[in-house]
Amino acid sequence: MIIKNENYNIEINDNGAITSLESGGKQFVKQVLPLLQFQLRDGEDTKIISSDSADKIEFCRNEDTVEFKFTFNNPDIVFNAKLLFGKRINASFSFENNTGSYVEWVDYPQIAIPNDLVARGGSGRITVDVNEGLLLEDISLKEQFYPYKYRPMNYPSEGLYSMFPAVIQSQFLSYYDDTAGIYIAAEDTERSIKGIDIAPLDDAIKMQFRLYPGIEKTDKFFKLPFNMVIDFFKGDWHDAAELYRSWFQNNLPENLTAIEENDTLPEWYSDSPLVVTYPVQGIHDTDPSGPNRLFPYNNALPYLEEIGKATGSRIMSVLMHWEGTAPWAPPYVWPPVGGAEMLADFGKELHKRDYILGVYCSGISYTLQSNINDFNMQKEFDDKNLSQYMCASPTGEIVSKTCQPQRKSYDMCISQDFTKNVLWKEAEKMASCGLDYIQILDQNHGGTPYFCFSDKHGHPAVPGKWMVEHMTDFLKKLKCIVGDKVLLGCESAAAESYIPYMNLSDNRFNLNGYVGKFIPLYGYIYHKYLQNFSGNSVCSLDIFDIKRSPDSYLLRTAHSFLAGDFMTLVINQDGEIAWAWGERDFSYLPDRKAVLDFIKSATAYKRGVGKKYLTFGQMIKPCEVKCDTVAMYKTNAERMTEYPVVLTTAWASSDGTCAQFVASYRNRSEEFTIDLTHTNGADLIDENGTVIKTLAAEVCSLTIPAHSVMMLAFKD
């Protein structure tokens, strides 16, 4: 059957498969897939079934609606799929399950787009809100790097599984080229567990939404409580993000308030602090315990003061390897090394300077033995039979892949009272010591709990919305325990479900450099409601060849600033700026003066004339900027990625005014043009708020000094 309207033409065969989908002159179907497929699970036994294999397929068309009924005799299950063809396509399904097995997941609707990405000579690009925003131009690179490589999610969990709400932070995918774009999203206000990924096929790419009903196998009837939507756009990733943000802002999570209206946030939150992070034991992630020259804690004060003075910044010290138990050895972190009194005294010294104190933590795991020191909890684990609370496989086996170089540990199931109570108690101890920030869920990217298939925990023995419900319950009480003065966060920015409770997280956008380009997609959608910091940049030395691409440091810093986040420095035990956490060799360092000068300029804008945009505003699509590109080389490889020599984002404030910021990150001035023809012109404003030039509504040529920032305030 063929359905046509002014927005798209779609063709569906008698099996329900989408055989053609065209919009704006672009054909979006390259390979025909069954409309849906699902997995049945009975313990460790699984079976994948597609709609094409149904024993009986019936369909009914009524004006703009088509319904398919897929009947399977063995096993006994019936799926009903409904497609509504309006301005966009809405898709839903229900099933009646008489198999005696779980319906673990359903892939729906299944669409395979062309693999005509930039790397293959086309103009196609894919965007995914993974680690704050990935622009993918070569799917083969994604498949070469294991953490990003397509693979079905299973037990045990992995931090970089393509799961929402987790390292996948929003519920949509988009693909576009120079002709047109397609947007696929789940409009799920419950924000339940999903696998959202792209999978390589023969000359095509599957845009996968793996939906987890999460109900008991004895619950025979299920109806998807939301619509999957397919929409179309022309433009780039900003236009796709705008579609999702429009839905999000009309369907906000409970307890979410815009920064400008949120009177529970501490006053420093809107003052653009500069995060300075460092370990107080060892110099590397897996170093043996033992104080370095930044311990006792007050030893760091001269370095923090120097950086604060040089950048005009309010410093936020975020400590690593501070735990008196063992670094990265959850759940027990207390007391801190040196004792609570010493840490509290350091906090008081910071507060005297109007500075801020935070700590890294670890996530929802139970450590049996640290690999860094002799910390051991095997006896408690055995005596209290704690294995009963751990995430288990369908056979009852317990195993973990989380941070095993640092520790031998298991993942705790978020549904269990033991899990919640032990973390609540540790957080209460930390909050009592005068901390301002706790990155409470390191390793739980985006705030996600782990997969658990146990049939003894009181939850369905498959993943599902119970995971989100328990995590939300945990975070709500946790926030009450630590109070409004202490902010919470996780590794990678908080996924959409958990944003109301984790207002400041440790971004991991740099990881996208392994496989593509990082874009401020997360900031575009969510910045109005929270800020984050650019993280400790772990793995950056594996992504960028610092000898051949030394500008990669300020590239990352400029990106963070333009995304509206707090900028971050990692320092070594001598107060030198390091390239990233996880570094051992400090014989070659970033250009300290260039870094501090850039941060000073950027901070002045964010604390002053640009505050209503970069702190309180929301991102908008910028006026087009054209400039040269520069190659950033990959470590130990000839492969390179081209980045524009100037970066830009645009913002709207609550008073209706708009501005665009441009940043340079190389040690030279840069020329660029900006197309102001669709505006009323703009004022070029320096960091003190002085208008230094007025630009007409035309394509303007400008020069930006080395490692600096420009602001263009659009005229009404």
* Separation of alpha carbons 262 and 353, rounded Å: 25
* Separation of alpha carbons 584 and 3, rounded Å: 61
| Inter-residue contact 225 to 212 (CB < 8 Å) | no
pLDDT at 638: 87
- SS3 labels along 450-485: CCCCCCCCCCCCCCCHHHHHHHHHHHHHHHHHHCCC
| Inter-residue contact 710 to 672 (CB < 8 Å) | no
Residue 207 backbone class (left: φ over 0; alpha: ψ -120 to 50; beta: rest): beta
241's CB contacts (< 8 A; 6+ apart) are: 127, 521, 524, 525
- SS3 labels along 423-441: HHHHHHHHHCCCCCEEEEE
> Which amino acid belongs to residue 396?
G
Spatial CA neighbour of 330 closest among 437, 167, 439:
439
236's CB contacts (< 8 A; 6+ apart) are: 125, 176, 181
> Which amino acid belongs to residue 603?
T
pLDDT at 153: 96
pLDDT at 714: 98
Question: Helices (DSSP H) in 216-339: which residue ranges?
Answer: 237-250, 301-311
* Separation of alpha carbons 430 and 424, rounded Å: 10
The segments of the chain whose pLDDT lies below 50 read none
pLDDT at 636: 85
* Separation of alpha carbons 105 and 196, rounded Å: 12
* Separation of alpha carbons 661 and 131, rounded Å: 23
* Separation of alpha carbons 250 and 240, rounded Å: 16
* Separation of alpha carbons 687 and 602, rounded Å: 8
b/e for 566-605, b at 16 or more Cβ within 10 A?
bbbbbbbbebebbbbbbbeeeeebbbeebbbbbbbbbbbb
pLDDT at 547: 96
pLDDT at 63: 86
Spatial CA neighbour of 79 closest among 104, 61, 52, 97:
97
- Coil/strand/helix, residue 709: strand
Give the distance, in angstroms, between the CA of residue 497 and the centroid of all CA atoms in the same chain.
12
* Separation of alpha carbons 107 and 87, rounded Å: 23
Domain boundaries, the chain: 619-714
pLDDT at 287: 86
The answer to whether the predicted template modeling score (pTM) of the entire model surpasses 0.85 is yes
Spatial CA neighbour of 264 closest among 505, 525, 441, 488:
488
- SS3 labels along 163-230: EECCCEEEEEEEEECCCCEEEEEECCCCCCCEEEEEEEECCEEEEEEEECCCCCCCCCEEECCCCEEE
Strand segments (E) across 529-645: 568-571, 577-578, 618-620, 625-627, 629-633, 640-644
pLDDT at 289: 77
Residue 593 per-residue DSSP state: H
pLDDT at 185: 98
Q: Tokens in use for 255?
A: 């307890």
Question: Helices (DSSP H) in 568-701: which residue ranges?
Answer: 592-607, 611-614
Q: Is the domain covering 619-714 a CATH 3.10.290.10 domain? A: no
pLDDT at 637: 85
